[in-house]
Each structure stands twice: as structure tokens, then as C-alpha cells.
Structure 1
């Protein structure tokens, strides 16, 4: 294909063949670094040594594993809702901020990306321990007479996961709110709408694509979270990623671990496809309708 063949007749837009050629390295990376290893691992769950579904039967018949799956789903929902409640005001402030204030807010949101998840989780472990800053503060103001058990609880996992995943909620919502023209607010005020009604009937519907996109990102990421639940949670509050690691590293039951991976992958794929049929991906990421 000649260089001119990459472009349409107007000389500006890439042809379909040119786009596919440019995307080929990306698709090759996805195929060999993600799909092939994932499918190879899942295939282990069916071969023990003959083809069987016993491993998947164990996942759904054993109440222990069923509770782990339901706990993972519950924590993912809680983290998504809490992230949404905390992120929307931040995104709204970023969308209306200008100058140094906008730079400061953006830096606060992006700053967590400069450190690893392990470092942020370790910081929460320090804050939540018996002699940590939070327990000391509660005792200093007289709310508690002795240290509370904050670490190695489900609450610690939810709080830390929310902190880690909040930027993935803030940025899509911010992108949607930035697309709202300032004239919309003035037009709503002229029509007699107060600030609350203007937010409910103008701002929120237009920002909904960003809300949906951020919620999907946070929810799907929370389903497979490993580091934070492993460090801050207890064995009684195990999530599915920790269970998979335990089956692989300690029990060495790779076929059953592969079955757990297959169940998680199937659920994530089903959620993604369900939302993609209702909302276009450009809408989910806060683009124009």
C-alpha cells in the first residue's frame, strides 16, 4: 500500500486499511499478552485430566466460595457508590474552576497516580492500626476510650479501595461536565429554575454518560482488586482475587483457581456487554451524544 493509500480522497482522514494497519501492534499485544494467557489458564479448569465441569460445580455448590463471590460483588457495589458520592462534587468543582485553583484540583486528583497502589494501601494500614492517627484522634476528642479495631476489616478494605479508585470516577465525570456549555445554566435560571432544579434537570442528565463510564470502570476494577483486600482485609473477609491467589500459591490447585478466573471473567464480560448494548462507549467516557 502506498503512502497516499492511507488517506481518503480529501487527503486528511485515514482510510480503513490505514487505521487497521496502525492498530495492528495494539491488537497483537492484546492477543499475545492478554487473550492467549487468559484462555490458556481457563482451559486448565476443564482438563483434569479429562474434560470436566467439576471445578465449576465446586464454585457454585460450596457455600464458602459462594459467600466469597457475593462478598466480592457487595464490596464492588459499595466502593462504586461511595466513589460516585465523593467524586461528583470534586468533578463539579474541577469543571467550574479556573486558573491556579483548577491546577490545584487536577493535581490532587492525579497525584495518586504518581505512587503505586501498594504504597497507598500501606499508608492506610498505618492510619488504621490500633495506635494509628485515626484511633489517636478519636481518643483525643473523647469519642472512644480505647482503640477501635479498624484494620483487617471489611470497612478498611472499602475505604482504601474507594481512595485508590476515586480518580477513575472523577475523570470521566469531569470530562462530561466540561462539555456542558455555561449558557445552559443561565438559560435554566432565566426559565425560573433554582440551582437545585437546574442541577437535577440539566447538569445531571448531561453528566450521566460520565457517571456511567466511571461507575463501570470502578466496579469492574473493584471486582478483581487484590493488593488492598490482601493487606487490609482478614481471612474471614476474603475476596475472589485473594481466593484465586491462595488456590494457586498455597494449595496449588490450579484447575480450581482457573475455574474461579473463568467465573470472574464471564461475569465481567457479561456486565460489559450489557452496558455496551445500552450505552455507546463514547457516551460512557463522557463524550457528546
Structure 2
């Protein structure tokens, strides 16, 4: 019996140790595929089916979206805020990632902790923290009025500005980490070689460092943009009804109005546009090729 088990275990592993045989690969990936189907594919498929499941099997819910200026405005606001948040996170994250790539030892540990700690904090808690900071009698308005910079509290809450600030803060680590990972893989000899050939620091950055870090930039941009499109808690709390986004609208249709067909149509439209943008993004930036290289 023991010899049979040993022979069975020996057949599971390849001699080179670099890849698993097909039976073991299926065994390892099976629970993940089952969980993905149960927790994601089936619910999303059912929601999409509801959007067209009516007596006449028509696309009336999709037509209702395209004919309503309100829903088109909400869609436009969602993608506009997603683009703005993506650009802001990229501008703020790249210097932080560049600095982290040059650190080592305990300094790197402290910087990494500062980036990772917000990820361990609930989005709900961070959203309420921004409400405390940006509200009419909040911390920021108290500082501005106390210094005499403003005569009255500024309307910093329940608008697109507050949503942009809060979403940028929440999504910033998702941009820092991919860029940092890409910068760490750049050999230190390459910038030194460029400097030895007469390139100054600016030319070294734009001709050597930045091009080699583009896979991390592309991954961070794609991740942040997709996450921003599906944000629900932060826009609902910090933005209020004046900055309604698609995810909040879908939640409203399902939990308050119980209009599942319309919610399914909104989800299908958002998913389709997102997949189209990801395809175009991948087509022009070659994310797969850069990741493979």
C-alpha cells in the first residue's frame, strides 16, 4: 500500500519541477473555478438574463437607458470621475513608488506599511473620516476659517470634489503597488550606464526608467479605473444624491425600487462598456505583451 502511494505521488510531479501534470493542475484549479462560477458567473449571468427576460423578449430596458438624459448623465459622470481619479492616483502614486524603489531595510518597511495599512482599513471607515474632514464644520473648514483664509465654510462635501478626493485616497495603494513592483525589476546598472554615456537625470528617467516601468503603470491604471467604475459606498456617503453613480443607481434599483430588469440592463451596459475600454486599452498599450516580457 505504501509503495503504491509513493508511485502515485511520483506520477503527480514532473521531473523538472517547473510545471504540474494535467491531473494535478485540474485538481488545484478546480475549487477556484467552482467558487468563481458560484460566486460571480452565475449571479452576474442571472442578472444579465433578467434584463431581457420579458414577455416579448425585447431590449426595452436598454432603450429606456439610452432615451433618458438622466441615466446617460449618470453614466457619463461615472466614467468621467473614473478617468479623473485614475489620472490623480497616477500622478500621486508614481513619485511614491519611485521613492520606495530606491529605499531598503527599515525605511522600505515603514514606507510599505504606510501604503498597506489603508488597505486593511474598511472603506466605510475611510469614507466617514473624509466626511468628518470635509463637512461644513469639519477639520479642513475649521483650519481655513481659523487662519482667516475664508470668511465662511466652503462647500467641500456632497459634491464631485469630495467624491474625487475620497476615491483617490482609497484607490491610491492599487496604483502604487504595481508601479513599485515594476520599478523594482529595473536593473540598477541601466540608469548608471545611461549616466556614464552622458545622459542627465531627466533623460535617464524619461528614456530608461519610465519606459521600463510602463507595464506597472498600465496595470495600475487599468486596475484603478475598473475599480472606480464600480464604487458604491464612497460616492453614496461622501457624494450624496447630487453625485449619483452607476453602482449606486443599480443598488437603488435593486434594494429600494425592486426593479431588477432595469438594474440588470444597467449592469450589462456598464460591463459591456468596461470590457470594450479594457480591450481598446490592451490593444493600444499591449499590456499582455509587456506583462509577458
TM-score, reference length from structure 2: 0.93
Matched, 1:37 2:43: yes
TM-score, reference length from structure 1: 0.94
1:223 Cα deviation from its structure 2 partner: 0.3
Other structure's SS at 1:259 match: helix
Distance (Å, rounded) in 2 between the aligned partners of 1:28 and 1:273: 26
Distance (Å, rounded) in 2 between the aligned partners of 1:265 and 1:65: 15
Give 1:98-109 correspondences, 5 Å limit.
98-109=104-115
Q: Which moved more, 1:64-73 or 1:243-252?
A: 243-252
Deviations 1:49-89 (Å, cap 9, x if unpaired)? 33110000111111110000000000000000000000000
Distance (Å, rounded) in 1 between the aligned partners of 2:135 and 2:107: 34
Matched, 1:179 2:185: yes
Deviations 1:101-143 (Å, cap 9, x if unpaired)? 1111101000111211000111000000111111111112222
Distance (Å, rounded) in 2 between the aligned partners of 1:215 and 1:188: 28
1:12 to 1:73, Cα distance in 2 relative to 1, 3 A: closer
Q: Structure 2: which 5+ runs fail to align?
A: 1-6
Q: Which moved more, 1:229-238 or 1:34-43?
A: 229-238
Matched, 1:127 2:133: yes
Number of residue pairs matched by the alignment: 286
Contact 1:210 1:283 survives alignment (8 Å): no
Q: Which moved more, 1:136-145 or 1:99-108?
A: 136-145
User: Which residue number in structure 1 is paired with residue 278 of structure 2?
Assistant: 272
Contact 2:48 2:268 survives alignment (8 Å): yes
Contact 2:218 2:287 survives alignment (8 Å): no
Other structure's SS at 1:45 match: helix
Q: Which moved more, 1:255-264 or 1:267-276?
A: 267-276
1:4 to 1:267, Cα distance in 2 relative to 1, 3 A: farther
Distance (Å, rounded) in 2 between the aligned partners of 1:117 and 1:58: 33
Give 1:114-263 correspondences, 5 Å limit.
114-263=120-269
Q: Which moved more, 1:1-10 or 1:229-238?
A: 1-10
Distance (Å, rounded) in 1 between the aligned partners of 2:65 and 2:179: 36
Q: Structure 1: which 5+ runs fail to align?
A: none
Distance (Å, rounded) in 2 between the aligned partners of 1:12 and 1:195: 40
User: Which residue number in structure 2 is paired with residue 10 of structure 1?
Assistant: 16
